[in-house]
Structure 1
Amino acid sequence: MKKKLQLLSLSCLLLASCLQSVQNDQKSNMIEHDIDIASQQIGHQVEVIEKSGKILNPRTIINGKVQYISNDDWTSGFFPGTMWYMYELTNDEKWKEYGIKYTEALDSIQYLKWHHDIGFMIYCSFGNAYRFTGKPEYKDIIIEAAKSLSTRFRPVPGVIQSWDENRGWQGQRGWMCPVIIDNMMNLELLFEASKLSGDSTFHKIAVSHANATLANHFRPDNSCYHVIDYDKIKGGVRNKQTAQGYADESSWARGQAWALYGYTVCYRETKDMRYLKQAEKVYNYLFTHKNMPDDLIPYWDFDAPDIPNEPRDASAAAITASALYELYTYNNNPEYKKTADKIISSLSSPAYLALVGTNGNFVLMHSVGSIPHNQEIDVPLNYADYYFLEALARKINLEKK
């Protein structure tokens, strides 16, 4: 009887081992398939650009045609950044060469001072370029860009102003010092510049901004507002509103993703437990929300009026997955990795991963830019691809360890 039990126990262990091996093979095949699709899609994109004889920067598609953007567009750093993640994922030197070429085309952005997105633009491009090449000139550009971003710091409210109050449609809102939750993503540039330069000013600005955002951007349920308008003369909050969400009191999906990612980075750079706790609170809000779909690809706004018939936002999902892989490394909550894996599995499915030769040669389908502005609705977006590739790289590196 004892021998039979031992044999049964051994059989169960062998079966479990085989099942685990099959699951690992399936996961590996999925990642390899994702990388293969990305290589072909982005490769086709680059071929088209190279044949033009110009250095073009694709953002999305409009009426079936790829939209190319100027260097000062807030999304200009993402396409060069995808080159670097393709290099990391494939070890193919051609992606490194493209990365250098398309990154260096953004050289002038280091001096940009009229909006806050220089963090996205420089860190996704030159930040990754410096990580892989160590070129000292890239280090200098990162530091100069941080100086430019720092000119937007408003010491009285202690924040980095996002948009100029008198520019474009933003100037029509009556804002004095608008700060959007997206701005949390620009702090990584400041933290890195502080380490590279030894100048603690950048670090202090980043911490000040993170603390003000922590105090003012979040509701009691840990969802966040999109826009907080500060009084840059007297200090304090003037208004809490939205620009890209459904309503001032609604929960814009990509904004929640920026918050999760931003506070995860802030914890990495400061080890301040308040930031880790906030990232955890945002996670809890997102994945206990009644309107989170089963496949974990959120609707563009959690409070949009026509759910479940509202557009999904694959970009918000990709950002969230990438953030969760990093967050998992700080407290080892298995739910974080499990959730990120499920998001990646969904994005890797035919419902979101484009067929080769379609989708304007972008990788992911079904993202949303700004429904209130009737812009980029249910289209591919370069930042959805960027964060998807970053999430794949993080997943691979995490599982290797």
Structure 2
Amino acid sequence: MMAGCNLKKAATEDMVTENISNAVSQYSLMTNRIEASDCIMNPKTLDEKQQVVYASYDDWTSGFFPGSMWYLYQLTGDEKWEKLAVKYTESLDSVQYLTWHHDVGFMVGCSYLNGMRLGQKDYKSVVLQTARSLSTRFRSGAGIIQSWDADKGWQAQRGWKCPVIIDNMMNLELLFEATRLSGDSTYYNMAVSHADRTLKEHFRSDGSCYHVVDYDPETGTVRSRQTAQGYADESAWARGQAWAIYGYTVCYRYTHKPEYWEQACRIYDFIFTNKHLASDLIPYWDYDALNIPNEPRDVSAAAITAAALYELSMYLPNPRYKKTADKILASLSTPAYRAKVGENGNFILMHSVGSIPHNAEVDVPLNYADYYFLEALSRKREMEKQVVCKKVL
């Protein structure tokens, strides 16, 4: 068995190993700079002057940087990354009490849940408290978890009552885990209700999804279907499609409801038969953006999709899902998208897009692109090791 595994490593892990080495070099430079400052700072992106922008603890992206360190620990076995992951994860302790934020699932899932899975840390109480906080946003009349507060910031100008964004599918894993850890089915039921209602209301016949669906929180009536970060209300925002395929794959993991993996497959078909998808499989920021091919790519959407497809491929016999993920990773590993060591603010990947309609984070590195890239590398390596070892046995 060991001989077979070693042969597999020599034959197939060259790209993975090289990417790990690159990531270690970049994140070592990044964390050395932060540690030397004697402050806890959470890198998010670069500004227009190419200076690193740091996320506050309550920013929706705050869990990705510690999560990347958990993946570096898993990929390398180096305790340096475990210590840093613990430090930066536990700096987010107060996130568990946020109730105005639907993205606590991202924030605690990528940090604390990975700490439990990859570091065997006892973070059960944090996960459960965060799930309780998230559950306060469940609107029973509509059967969904409200995303944004409709009376604050730019959202108040849209006239929404109970907006739900497709991104919210990514917060359901926290609720499923809360039920697994506590035995309380309330969280599971909320997650399934949200996934079912989103499946019914968010998707078009071609498998693409809207970004925002606004509900009446009392009656559950759909008031509008729109976008906030895409090109147009009826367009297909690239990262939204990525959140959708990832979210329904995770829902299948916990429920084994066939309609969830069927939906993930429909989203796959929409993405990878789309006439505007580039040959290297790195999408433009919106599949219907006006000036394709002269539109920015969104590397973050590609990385999220690759990570999702590795998991989806474990549930379905069709080899196309893993082959597609492999091709995306190969593209992301080229100089067109992966930065040279010492450049790009020491983020791994270049050319992501936050929100073009808000003129925010356009063609920049983003910490969540790095996170899902590392997750995809981890999943690829573990899957291929398991397959070969089984064959040898």
Instruction: Find the counterpart in structure 1 of residue 391 from structure 2.
Output: none
Of the candidates 165, 168, 180, which is equivalent to residue 183 of structure 1? 168
Query: Within the alignment, does 1:109 sit opposite 2:95 as a pair?
Result: yes
1:291 corresponds to 2:307: no
Match of 1:387 in 2: 372
Tell me the TM-score normalized by structure 2: 0.95
CA distance in 2, matches of 1:250, 1:133: 41
**Which residue of 2 is the match for residue 312 of structure 1?**
297
SS at match of 1:97: helix
Q: Which has the larger radius of gyration?
A: 1
- Report SS of the residue matched to 2:354: strand
Amino acid aligned to 1:396? R
Give the Cα–Cα distance (whole angstroms) in 1 for the partners of residues 19 and 353 of structure 2: 21
Contact kept, 8 Å, 2:70 with 2:119, in 1: the verdict is no
Are positions 1:371 and 2:371 aligned together? no
What's the Cα RMSD here?
Answer: 1.3
**Take 2:23 and 2:200, find their aligned partners in 1: how far apart are those partners?**
40
Asked if the contact 2:97–2:129 (Cα under 8 Å) also holds between the matched residues in 1, the reply is yes
TM-score (norm 1): 0.93
Deviates more, 1:172-181 or 1:126-135: 126-135
AA matched with 1:279: A
CA distance in 2: counterparts of 1:234 and 1:29, whole angstroms: 55
Separation (CA, whole Å) in 2 of partners of 1:280 and 1:390: 20
Output the CA distance in 2 between the equivalents of 1:227 and 1:282: 17
Q: Aligned residues, how many?
A: 380
Letter in 2 for 1:96: E
Report the equivalent of 2:110.
124
Taking the TM superposition and a 5 Å limit, the aligned residue runs for 1:145-294 are: 145-294=130-279
The DSSP-based 3-state class of the residue aligned with 1:146 is helix
- Higher relative CO (Cα under 8 Å, sequence separation at least 6) belongs to 2
Corresponding residue of 2:390: none
Any unmatched runs of 5+ in structure 2?
Answer: 1-5, 387-393
Which 4+ residue blocks in structure 1 deviate beyond 4 angstroms?
A: 21-27
2: CA distance, partners of 1:44 / 1:149: 35
Instruction: Give the AA of the match of 2:82.
Output: K
Other-structure match for 2:389: none
One of 52, 56, 68 as aligned partner of 1:70: 56
Displacement of 1:24: 7.7
Mapped to 1, the partners of 2:24 and 2:152 lie a distance apart of 39
Show CA shifts across 1:261-300 (max 9, x none).
Answer: 0000000100000001000000011000000100000000
In 2, Cα distance between equivalents of 1:234 and 1:253: 31
CA distance in 2, matches of 1:355, 1:32: 16
Q: Which moved more, 1:326-335 or 1:28-37?
A: 28-37
For residues 133 and 91 of structure 1, the distance between their equivalents in structure 2, rounded to whole angstroms, comes to 10
Partners of 1:306 and 1:214 lie apart in 2 by 30
Query: Which amino acid letter does the alignment assign opposite residue 377 of structure 1?
Result: V
Is the counterpart of residue 135 in structure 1 residue 125 in structure 2?
no
